[in-house]
Amino acid sequence: MAGGSVAGGSPGSGRVHKRVLSDQQKRRDLALKRQIESRRNLQQHARLLASVLVPLSESGDCASLVDCDSSVIWVEERSVVDADGLVDEHRDYGTGWHGDCKMDEKEMLPKAEMSRKEVGLYEGTKLKGAKAREWFSQQLTLPEWMVDLPVRLKEDWYVLARPAGKRCIVVSSHGTTVSRLRNGRVLHCFPSALPNGSRACGVVTPSHTFCILDCVFHEPDQTYYITDMMCWCGYSLYDCNFEFRYFWMNSKLAETGALSSPSAYHKYCFRVAPVYECDVPGLQAAYSGPVPFARDGLLFYNRHAHYVLGLTPLVLLWKDANCSQYYLDTDSKGNVPPCQQVVLKLQGDGTVVTSDDPPVTLGSMPQKFLQQNIKYLKPGMLLRFTIGGQGLDIVSGKPVTADIHYQGVANHARAGADSSSKILFQYAARHTPLTLLDIVGAIESSNEGDAVMSA
């Protein structure tokens, strides 16, 4: 594997990865089946997200934009859904993000008159700490870590280099663009050429127009690299497959000038992260081809996958030491610890669990210890553990227990606990990793299958 080449013919290429550490393939099949059986309607979710995902009592550039009483909701989205589910496009609520926060009573909408989802989205912007991290982590799709190889890898998957940087959700609405990190903190408030993303002179944009993007902010070149698109000009793409979403990313962004160089009404660069077919040349390009950013592993997207909120086995993350500086998790000083570390969430009964849905329990804290530290250790907190010499117990493809040892409270900036797939990937990386040649082998095996069928 000299020079990071993934060309066929290397020792070990063509072999299929036999080691199955998880039930990931079963969950991939179930996720695709659910998409076929039940299509979700997230248009209203996107509309509400665009209307409320704004800086509320935040520090920084946006600190003075909004300061409204918690007993009422300032409905910034001018397209209001009434109790019958009908949209009233004519009522005007508020003056926008840069307007005066003092409003008449007619501009206030009591919480009691709003649907549960509307209140939930509003409350999400007001949450802090662990609850805010949990809520905002559900607004982005979260890839599972690749712990076994998908079937039909060549036929059904795309691959792209994952940009190193800050993962964020970017929303353009009401003449402003806001980016938020997974933990809910505002990263930037700025004008952009995205739909309704700036108050450019002479440009009038309907208030119901907005855009929601999944991005990585790459600090060295001050660029937002777009990896997915959830909404465009108010149209929901959540239920569109990735193949179509990627087509829209390239075509629509180019049409608006959002990919142009920075200007007075477009503060940051936006670029679409290059996506390749998951064949050997595509894998080679994603793994070692020239890219304008530092890599942090590879992302694999199932071409049929909808945009799922939260963890999904239809988007996979894979790393090795050649394509990521953080192949193995590091400590706060950037060093790889001698033992694997995991972050788990403390439950009310003292058990500690992963971020999966449903969560996987890996152990429990001694009740005596919890009682002694009742002021400091509370349910919902994220705790840091090391995995000892006895490792993980894996049953039916899932970790069921682990030899974990408590180390302390996790970094407060974390968005959530580790997923079981991340724990399995990091564990395998220290013992029997899933290598690049294994991935090449799966692709070449698919080629051999095609040859047999054509014969």
Average pLDDT over residues 132-148: 83
Give the pLDDT of residue 43: 62
Mean pLDDT over each residue of the chain, to the nearest integer: 78
Burial of 88 by CB count in 10 Å (0-12 exposed, 13-18 middle, 19+ buried)?
Answer: exposed
Across the range 199-221, mean pLDDT stands at 82
Q: List the single range of 84-88, 406-410, 427-431 with lowest mean pLDDT.
A: 84-88
pTM of the model: 0.78
* Residues linked to residue 187 through DSSP beta bridges, in sequence order: none
- 92-108: buried (b, 16+ CB within 10 Å) or exposed (e) per residue? ebbeebeeeeeeeeeeb
CB-count exposure of residue 396 (10 Å: 0-12, 13-18, 19+): exposed
User: Is the pLDDT at 253 greater than 80, yes or no?
Assistant: yes
Is omega for the bond preceding 110 within 30 degrees of 0, making it cis?
no
Indicate if the pLDDT at residue 108 is higher than 70: no
* 215: pLDDT strictly greater than 90: yes
DSSP 414: -
Q: Which residue has the higher pLDDT, 126 or 344?
A: 344
Strands lying side by side in the sheet with 341-346: 361-364, 351-353, 341-346, 382-395, 398-409
Euclidean distance between CA atoms 128 and 345, whole angstroms? 17
Calpha distance 382→439 (Å, rounded): 33
**pLDDT digits over 266-308, tens only?**
999 999 999 999 999 999 999 999 999 999 999 999 999 999 9
Average pLDDT value for residue range 185-199: 91
CA angle 42, 47, 51 (to 5 degrees): 145
- How does pLDDT run across 336-380, given as a tens digit for each residue? 999 999 999 999 999 999 999 899 999 999 999 999 999 999 999
CA 137 to chain centre: 7
pLDDT of res. 209: 81
- What lies within 8 Å, CB to CB, of 83 at 6+ separation is 113
Instruction: Dump pLDDT digits (tens) for 67-100.
Output: 322 222 222 333 333 223 233 333 332 222 222 2
Looking at this protein, which amino acid is placed at residue 221? D
- Residue 2 corresponds to which tokens in the numbers above? 């000299």
